Chain A
């Protein structure tokens, strides 16, 4: 049963477009594409819409050359490529929550070149450590809500917002519970499985996803992976949905026991704390969540969080990845590596592109794993 559940997560990812088209036909409701996890999906669920995250396909995004200068990250170009190729032709609109210039460019190119009925950019504050960010964001969310209402002609009620908050909180809570099983000496799920669980949650109806998570949580206590977990690794950095890389590294005698990025734990770590003012509650969650480094200043709070994760999940080594040209993550590499080193976690940096040179990476990762496990085996 457990294997079937993980297979379902994989199928949802591999057949995401078919799923979405079928969902739309079945429900006769709207689907909204979003680029960054700073988009408050609660409000889209409140509007009775399905939010789906736009991600790339890891094919060279040559079709984007006329629209985005190639010094911007592969994620932003790969996402746009999906739109230009018509793979998201079922979405009714696109929404972006301000995170970085890279994805803003994708949003604008999408708005200008791909037929879309609805496009909205939410100016999520960058200064999340200042006390005015939450009330400011609440007003930005009110504007977003009104724009949606004007477009659909349908009021978004408090009951709807409560429903949206509940759907999102439940899904996050269940995934966090699954993550507890990664803390075990012999984790009950692998890193690739965890990634596929989170990725699929960004692609399908969360209510359906949560049902499956409930089943998974019933099954997991009895699961035995029958594999040596090897070295306990963490992966940390830019957006990462490179499943091939994750799988290949875990085949080298390691397990990713935790990750700190937006297709992993960062997506599910924080809930909305319900309050009478629903938009303030949602705003608080998005300001106080584990931040993208683009918003994390003047203090390095994300790095402190990553250090805590490393300790809590008993991490031996961390792969620090940067999507080439991703400035927010690239800037933090030395402070992050130093902070992890101070708690005894060795790190190794890798620069990701739309595809990764696995042949070279394998040698480098193997060498890193050897440094973590000692050299005795050589003699």
Chain B
């Protein structure tokens, strides 16, 4: 059939793929390169360890857990190992994937290549907002210790809440700032290195820029036809979850933004026959991304999600009530004091942190996306694998339905394929699309 819009592959695709591959390789080879390894979450204040030197490599747990989930055979082995060790199967799926990798003493890379020996971090640098973040690494450390390897751990408590109408009180900001300042001293102590404030300032500025640019890229998807689809975005947003503080991340996002702007100018679509626009809310079942291709058969494009937009992207509400990329601070930080305070103030507004506290915030953000991105329906993933990003989801459904937005709720698990019924979900999803007046396009 005739295509409604022109499509073309992203030029930056291979560069992004190589960058991601290199990230996993660098972590593995860090010691050979004379550097340090640290492990922690995608939300950890990654700019802080950057002050230890340019040869400090990290592995962030959630993307690593998602990578494992994508390769189902390896995931199954991880889950077997974790359950055999006595952990409940109801725990965070990423966390179980990560622990499974330690228990099996195997390491999977971005391309699915599995190597022997899970690389042990030199230290753990984490933060804690949900029930699992700190506990994840506490147990990881315990598992390593059982193998005779002692891993020092530092974790920053960021559970200070969120304020909808006004900035957080100073004492809440200071609580986090104080912990980070202590953390810098701790890093010096456990690594024996002298901390470099200049590198810190660079890293903070990189992170602020990367997370703003990503939000700007997402904003370009307001265009009809959408230049990017959600499945593609997963391969791009991930840089922010791996290395948001690094210059490579800023660089690739700048290039990507230029390319997506070009696609908008030329009317290049992600889905050739876009006629119905949806978004999701949180992580997908990683082993079943083909569901997005099934949607395309109905002319449906998924423009992204609150997760792809706001896990790393930083946003604000403008005075006119619209949701837009957050403004950069006026100046780059010049001192440790400025840098630490700046990154805390920047981070506490993270959209995906806000809705941990207040369901109204997530509903409001989704409704903003629905309006500004011209969305027809929302797919809500009742995700058994992540209690953090599923918290309040039933309230969000209420809020969307009340606002007149068609909602398709489905139950699954981002990292445990046993808990996602692909054929059943697909059957219900296609029925939903048909109830919205869509028909399967001719091949």
B139 within 8 A of A: yes
Residues of B within 8 A of A71 (CB): 90, 382, 384, 387, 390
B4 to chain A minimum Cβ distance, whole angstroms, is: 37
Residues of B within 8 A of A121 (CB): 161, 357
Q: Are B161 and A123 in contact (CB under 8 A)?
A: yes
Q: How far is the CA of A65 from the CA of B175 in the complex (A)?
A: 37
| Residues of B in contact with A, size category | 35 or more
Q: How far is the CA of A351 from the CA of B92 in the complex (A)?
A: 17
Residues of A within 8 A of B90 (CB): 71, 324-325, 327, 330
Q: How far is the CA of A143 from the CA of B172 in the complex (A)?
A: 12
**Given known contacts A108-B392, A130-B179, A132-B178, is B86 in contact with A298 (CB within 8 Å)?**
no
B82 to chain A minimum Cβ distance, whole angstroms, is: 9
Q: Are B131 and A351 in contact (CB under 8 A)?
A: no
Instruction: Digitize A279-302: 1 where CB-to-B-CB distance is under 8 Å, 0 elsewhere.
Output: 000000000000001100110100
Instruction: Digitize B277-288: 1 where CB-to-A-CB distance is under 8 Å, 0 elsewhere.
Output: 000000000000
CB-contacts of A151-199 with B (<8 A): none
**Given known contacts A66-B394, A105-B392, is B92 in contact with A298 (CB within 8 Å)?**
no
CB-contacts of A337-379 with B (<8 A): 337, 349, 351
Q: Are B131 and A112 in contact (CB under 8 A)?
A: no
A101 within 8 A of B: yes
Q: Are A127 and B395 in contact (CB under 8 A)?
A: no
A337 contacts which of B86, B135, B141, B358 (Cβ < 8 Å)?
Answer: B86
**Given known contacts A108-B395, A125-B159, is B135 in contact with A136 (CB within 8 Å)?**
no
A93 within 8 A of B: no
**Given known contacts A66-B394, A297-B128, is B157 in contact with A127 (CB within 8 Å)?**
yes
**Given known contacts A101-B130, A101-B391, A331-B87, is B382 in contact with A69 (CB within 8 Å)?**
yes
B138 contacts which of A98, A112, A297, A327 (Cβ < 8 Å)?
Answer: A297
**Given known contacts A67-B394, A331-B135, A351-B88, is B142 in contact with A126 (CB within 8 Å)?**
no
Q: Are B134 and A126 in contact (CB under 8 A)?
A: yes
A114 within 8 A of B: no
Nearest to A67 among chain B residues (CB) is B394
A332 within 8 A of B: yes
Q: Are B393 and A69 in contact (CB under 8 A)?
A: yes
A60 within 8 A of B: no
Q: Are A126 and B86 in contact (CB under 8 A)?
A: no
Residues of B within 8 A of A217 (CB): none
Q: Are B155 and A298 in contact (CB under 8 A)?
A: yes
A230 within 8 A of B: no
Nearest to A292 among chain B residues (CB) is B131
Residues of B within 8 A of A101 (CB): 130-131, 356, 387-388, 391
Q: How far is the CA of A108 from the CA of B161 in the complex (A)?
A: 13
B124 to chain A minimum Cβ distance, whole angstroms, is: 8
**Given known contacts A101-B356, A127-B156, A300-B138, is B384 in contact with A112 (CB within 8 Å)?**
no
Residues of A within 8 A of B134 (CB): 126-127, 297-298
| Residues of A in contact with B, size category | 35 or more
Most buried by A among B85, B388, B390: B390
Residues of A within 8 A of B178 (CB): 132
B33 within 8 A of A: no
Instruction: Digitize A97-108: 1 where CB-to-B-CB distance is under 8 Å, 0 elsewhere.
Output: 010111011001
Most buried by A among B136, B156, B387: B387
B91 within 8 A of A: yes
B359 within 8 A of A: yes
Q: Are B87 and A334 in contact (CB under 8 A)?
A: yes
Residues of A within 8 A of B398 (CB): 66-67
**Given known contacts A98-B159, A108-B392, is B135 in contact with A333 (CB within 8 Å)?**
no
A127 to chain B minimum Cβ distance, whole angstroms, is: 3
CB-contacts of B110-165 with A (<8 A): 128, 130-132, 134-139, 141-142, 153-157, 159-161
Residues of A within 8 A of B132 (CB): 327, 331
Nearest to A320 among chain B residues (CB) is B86
Residues of B within 8 A of A115 (CB): none
A84 within 8 A of B: no
B99 to chain A minimum Cβ distance, whole angstroms, is: 10
Q: Are B131 and A327 in contact (CB under 8 A)?
A: yes
Q: Are B153 and A298 in contact (CB under 8 A)?
A: yes
Q: How far is the CA of A102 from the CA of B88 in the complex (A)?
A: 17
Most buried by A among B131, B155, B384: B131
Most buried by B among A324, A330, A331: A331
A108 contacts which of B155, B172, B175, B359 (Cβ < 8 Å)?
Answer: B359
B39 to chain A minimum Cβ distance, whole angstroms, is: 13
B185 within 8 A of A: no
Residues of A within 8 A of B161 (CB): 121, 123
B8 within 8 A of A: no
A68 within 8 A of B: yes
B160 contacts which of A123, A325, A332, A334 (Cβ < 8 Å)?
Answer: A123
Q: Are B179 and A104 in contact (CB under 8 A)?
A: no
B110 to chain A minimum Cβ distance, whole angstroms, is: 27
A334 contacts which of B85, B141, B390 (Cβ < 8 Å)?
Answer: B85
A-B contact pairs, 11 of them (CB 8 A): A67-B398, A69-B390, A71-B382, A101-B130, A125-B159, A132-B182, A327-B92, A327-B387, A330-B87, A331-B135, A351-B88
Known: A98-B159, A126-B134, A130-B157. 7 other contacts (CB 8 A): A101-B388, A298-B137, A327-B91, A327-B92, A330-B87, A331-B138, A337-B86
Seen from chain A, the residues whose Cβ lies within 8 Å of a Cβ on chain B are 65-69, 71-72, 98, 100-102, 104-105, 108-109, 112, 121, 123, 125-127, 130-133, 136, 139, 143, 293-294, 297-298, 300, 322, 324-325, 327-328, 330-335, 337, 349, 351
Nearest 6 CB-CB pairings of A with B: A127-B157, A297-B134, A330-B88, A136-B175, A334-B86, A327-B131
